[in-house]
Structure 1
Amino acid sequence: MSASNPTPSGGPLVEGPRDPEHDVTASYALEPDYVARLTARILATSGESKEARSPLNGAPLAHIPQSTEADVDEAFARARRAQEKWAATPVAEREAFLLRLHDLVLDRQQEILDLIVLESGKARKHAFDEPLHIALTARYYGRRSREILGTERRAGVIPALTRVDLNHVPKGVVGIISPWNYPFTMALCDGLAALAAGNAVVAKPDAQTMLSALLGAQLLEEAGLPKDLWQVVAGPGSKIGTNIIERADYICFTGSTQTGKIIGKQCAERLIGCSLELGGKNPMLVLADADVERAAEGATRAVFSNAGQLCVSVERLFVADAIYDRFVERFVARTQAMTLGATLGWDNDMGPLISQDQVDTATAHVEDAVAKGARVLAGGKARPDLAPYFFEPTILEGVTPEMTVFGNETFGPVVAIYRFHSEDEAVERANDGEYGLNASIYSRDAERARRLASRVKCGTVNVNEAFAASFASIDAPMGGMRQSGMGRRQGSEGILRYTETQSVATQRVLRFSPMLGLSEEAYAKVMTASLRVLKKLGRA
């Protein structure tokens, strides 16, 4: 593994004092006026702030104003007033706004990438996934919203006499609680569908990566989103999270399974809907007929993209016995050849983790596994010489059920690799555990791999790809099974979750009660005969 040289970047940066210990480009700081413009978008009157530091070298980035419960109340009040007018805005105008956002995000991607890397520490090439995903999402709903949200005709009970129209009515104000690992796309992508459906949004991004989310809010405004439709509050979930849930008409949360269960209970008490994308212990299956080189390349991305801090990252690798040794050789070689660095440049294959907590988790999982007999094939330790929160890309062999890493999500650059002898065994082991978010299958026989995929209990399965095929296919719904969550983002499901389905039935000529002098008994006989006729005619 090699470390990359620092590469300065453009954007809203000024050069700060260089860190003598790490000597990295992370010493570049944000312009104070730029930070002030972003943080002014937070509705916060507490007078308190939280310092944000870059995981590249621990340098201060900004002081984030903190919101109070009263600020949350005001955010929802503003959003509700704005939403009434927005709901009456033609869907075509909402689509036009999203298409303007598409272009704006692509035009401003270098600024977006600078901010993402500074806040999250991820490699720039992995940060690029975020503006790419937002552009794809904006274009999809910018082209498809009218089709998806348009009034539908459904079959009435009496042909030609009963007309049924299906409307999709916006829920109102959506609360979005987004994570730090993809701070730009997760702050925006779910909200774009909510806006397209005619809702307003109150967003609470994670405290560690507020600036990327605030830049997203600024771009929404620049693309023409009317004032007050997108409100941003800041603060710990323990302080303002419940207040958001108590005032929202729908909640969208991405984060841990533990927190997701709490939010789900709170939503159930209010009888409001929610979508929850939660944890995963995602498997990859490399079948005996797989292209070994392609599978090794895919595994490297599947495991180490964003330093493994990706909900759909692979943490369990199951490889057919017939090609196991060849695959391990290539996978280890690719892993050891990765360029590690904490800079703003494009050369890094992996950057640091977001915090010391993530390093501690990865360290604890690896040390526990090694103490109980696992073998380290690559990596295995923290690298504070590269950045304060750096952990090497790590491959473990010989992991057994009594080890913490076996069934618990690491959310870091650590993978356990296992042999399997039959595809039935591989599927059974892939389905072991409580999670079911994403899986990958590598095989030269794509049709057979797709058949196998239908047996894997995960919300998305990628064939001959790590995760990008499903993640970037916006027409395809994305979400988890079992303890990995409920609900779906993307596709028609991703926008319809933010609507109430309303059936409007119009009855012509006949009424559903006796008429023309019929008795109740005679009416019942006529209706019974009608049902029999409709069945013979093949009516549903």
Structure 2
Amino acid sequence: MALSKLPARADSAALSRLASSVPTDETREEIPVEAPYSGINIQTIPASTSADVSAAVERAREAQPAWADRPVSERAEAVLRFHDLVLDERRELLDVAQLESGKARIDAFEEILDVATTARHYAHRADEYLEPERRKGAFPVLTDTRVYRHPVGVVGVISPWNYPLTLSVTDALPALLAGNAVVVKPAEETPFSALLLRDLLREAGVPNDSFQVVTGRGSEAGAALVEESDFVCFTGGTETGRKVAEQAGANLTDCSLELGGKNPMVVLPDADIGKAVSGAIQGCFTNAGQLCIAFERLYVHESIYDEFLDRLVRRTRGLDLSPGYDFGPDVGSLIGSDQLETVESHVEDALSKGADVLTGGRARPDLGPYFFEPTVLTGVSDEMELAREETFGPVVAVESFDSVADAIELANDSEYGLNASVWTEDGDRGRKVARQIECGTVNINDAYAAAWASVDAPMGGMKDSGLGRRHGREGFEKYTEAQTVAEQRAGSVTAPPEGVPDGWYAKAMLVSLRAMKRLPGVR
């Protein structure tokens, strides 16, 4: 579809305005931004330097105390206004997200749902999360102990290209509500979604310098943001995540990292095959497989393997792979040439070593430069790149198993541990299996949305899939410093009162300790 047919908010002039709003000290090198559907450069963004990032962080640091001084209720009201604006401006947000990422509109709409859900949740819970908390004191009645939470300062968010709406702002919202300022460095492939969201936050009442977007390459702008921030939130590949963690650690800067995945789906013999196949379609091919929590490994019990595989292949062949800025297509484009090269390389390597393609397996340049068919493989073995490396495309390997113990072992046989799924009609059995899978989230009878959309519960990775958590109380408190304030109302905790011999004091303390062991209220 021609760029000229897009709504005005996504046309060249509108994108140019957004690009020119990125603050730089002087004219910078321009980075072209490509539309994956066509391969055409739609606009350029400035390649912010480390000096530009430092200036943005300094502005944020100056603005942060005034933002933190506002009542939590005022900050929450701004985020709730942002919630409404996201819904009101959804068409423009969807157009821009599709334009720069190449995803199907239904996948972009999932981001709208996620942003609104996260905004609503944290806006309504921020006051609770920041309420001073009474803890048990050193001695009952005599010691009053409370925990206060303070903002860390400036939070740096480095977001990837695969979910440019969700990952540019949903990690920032709890940080803002906690009283921090935020500087976001979006992927250079998808900067305009972040810039649009910045404008909506400002319209909602967040001060300009309290939420900023800097554009540029990760090697310079991203590294500078890690260096300057008081907390770093990074979503991306494991290799880059290690570098971020190393740089942050050298500065004793705390960070959270959601990294790669090679996610398994386990289908037990009592599963509803139709529902499991639908779950596999969603879990494998949403966003053309460019989803950190997508499945690349399917393990199906041998008693239902043939029927499951037959249905999966038929459903996969029926998917609508095509470009389009309206609802309708099921699967969109890959993001660019590097991603297409990785997907093609993994499939070709698997085929050369004996794997079978049951459907798909080809690039589709007739649809656009980076389209690749949804692909189902069998016969994948450990010596193939596809077996262990993250493909991050619409490709899945299917294998049978004969016992639940084998399925769990297969699911855990990976360096990654981000997301998994278990399919069974027995909820107790499903939970038992889920608890044995080494992943930060496990869904029962759902691909990924059940756990992801449960924003009151933490989400993140085990093993090489990351550190820290987003969502829930954990995803809020990581942006705060905990401070304990203890008031001793009488006497001293560790020293005898004046005039009392040390020996008498020691005996009295021993009696008190033995008594407190038997009192449930002071344990």
Partners of 1:406 and 1:429 in 2: CA distance: 11
Partners of 1:68 and 1:46 in 2: CA distance: 11
SS of 1:50's partner is: strand
Question: 1:387 aligned to 2:383?
Answer: no
1:359 is matched with which residue: 330, 340, 362?
A: 340
The more displaced of 38-47 and 56-65 is 38-47
- Aligned in 2, Cα 1:34/1:226: closer, same or farther, shift over 3 Å? same
Partners of 1:525 and 1:81 in 2: CA distance: 54
Aligned to 2:12: 32
Aligned to 2:177: 196
Aligned to 1:523: 505
Give TM-score scaled by structure 2 length. 0.97
After TM superposition, list the pairs within 5 Å mapping 1:131-530 onto structure 2.
131-512=112-493, 513-530=495-512
Amino acid at match of 1:508: R
Task: Judge conservation of contact 2:111–2:165 (CA < 8 Å) in 1.
Answer: yes
SS of 2:146's partner is: strand
Partners of 1:133 and 1:72 in 2: CA distance: 28
Aligned to 2:519: 537
The alpha carbon displacement at 1:519 in A equals: 2.1
Partners of 1:46 and 1:526 in 2: CA distance: 74
Partners of 2:505 and 2:288 in 1: CA distance: 70
The alpha carbon displacement at 1:244 in A equals: 1.4
Amino acid at match of 1:137: T
Give CA-to-partner distance per residue, 1:68-88, whole Å, 9 cap, x none.
111111101100011011111
Partners of 1:481 and 1:518 in 2: CA distance: 54
Give CA-to-partner distance per residue, 1:215-246, whole Å, 9 cap, x none.
11111111110120012111112122222122
Aligned to 1:115: 96
The alpha carbon displacement at 1:516 in A equals: 4.1
Give TM-score scaled by structure 1 length. 0.94
Amino acid at match of 2:208: K
- Aligned in 2, Cα 1:339/1:238: closer, same or farther, shift over 3 Å? same
- Aligned in 2, Cα 1:41/1:531: closer, same or farther, shift over 3 Å? farther
Task: Judge conservation of contact 1:10–1:111 (CA < 8 Å) in 2.
Answer: no
Aligned to 2:50: 69
Question: 1:91 aligned to 2:72?
Answer: yes
Partners of 1:318 and 1:397 in 2: CA distance: 11
Give CA-to-partner distance per residue, 1:13-66, whole Å, 9 cap, x none.
6xxxxxxxxxxxxxxxx4333113312332223432111110001122111112
Give CA-to-partner distance per residue, 1:100-132, whole Å, 9 cap, x none.
111111111111100111110000001101111
The more displaced of 39-48 and 212-221 is 39-48
Amino acid at match of 2:278: E
Amino acid at match of 2:356: R
The more displaced of 33-42 and 273-282 is 33-42
The alpha carbon displacement at 1:354 in A equals: 0.2
Give CA-to-partner distance per residue, 1:463-486, whole Å, 9 cap, x none.
111111111111111100000001
- Give structure 2 stretches of 5+ with no counterpart: none
Amino acid at match of 1:11: P
Partners of 2:6 and 2:117 in 1: CA distance: 24
Give CA-to-partner distance per residue, 1:173-230, whole Å, 9 cap, x none.
0011000000111000000011011100111000000011111111111111012001
1:80 is matched with which residue: 51, 58, 61?
A: 61
Partners of 1:377 and 1:339 in 2: CA distance: 17
Partners of 1:6 and 1:457 in 2: CA distance: 46
SS of 2:464's partner is: helix
Partners of 2:458 and 2:131 in 1: CA distance: 19
Task: Judge conservation of contact 2:234–2:257 (CA < 8 Å) in 1.
Answer: yes
- Give structure 1 stretches of 5+ with no counterpart: 14-29
Task: Judge conservation of contact 2:129–2:473 (CA < 8 Å) in 1.
Answer: yes
SS of 2:170's partner is: helix
Task: Judge conservation of contact 2:4–2:11 (CA < 8 Å) in 1.
Answer: no
SS of 2:397's partner is: strand
Partners of 2:347 and 2:47 in 1: CA distance: 36
Aligned to 1:23: none
Task: Judge conservation of contact 1:7–1:344 (CA < 8 Å) in 2.
Answer: no
Give CA-to-partner distance per residue, 1:285-338, whole Å, 9 cap, x none.
011011111111110010000000000000000000000000001100100000
SS of 1:340's partner is: coil
- Aligned in 2, Cα 1:473/1:222: closer, same or farther, shift over 3 Å? same
Aligned residues: 520
Question: 1:106 aligned to 2:87?
Answer: yes
Task: Judge conservation of contact 2:3–2:11 (CA < 8 Å) in 1.
Answer: no
Aligned to 2:8: 12
1:42 is matched with which residue: 22, 33, 38?
A: 22
The alpha carbon displacement at 1:272 in A equals: 1.3
Amino acid at match of 2:34: R
The alpha carbon displacement at 1:383 in A equals: 0.6
Task: Judge conservation of contact 2:185–2:221 (CA < 8 Å) in 1.
Answer: no
The alpha carbon displacement at 1:157 in A equals: 1.2
- Fraction of identical pairs, as percent: 50
Partners of 1:9 and 1:323 in 2: CA distance: 47
Partners of 2:218 and 2:76 in 1: CA distance: 32
Task: Judge conservation of contact 2:359–2:374 (CA < 8 Å) in 1.
Answer: yes
Give CA-to-partner distance per residue, 1:143-197, whole Å, 9 cap, x none.
0010111100000011111001101111000011000000111000000011011
The alpha carbon displacement at 1:386 in A equals: 0.6
The alpha carbon displacement at 1:495 in A equals: 0.6
Task: Judge conservation of contact 1:113–1:124 (CA < 8 Å) in 2.
Answer: yes
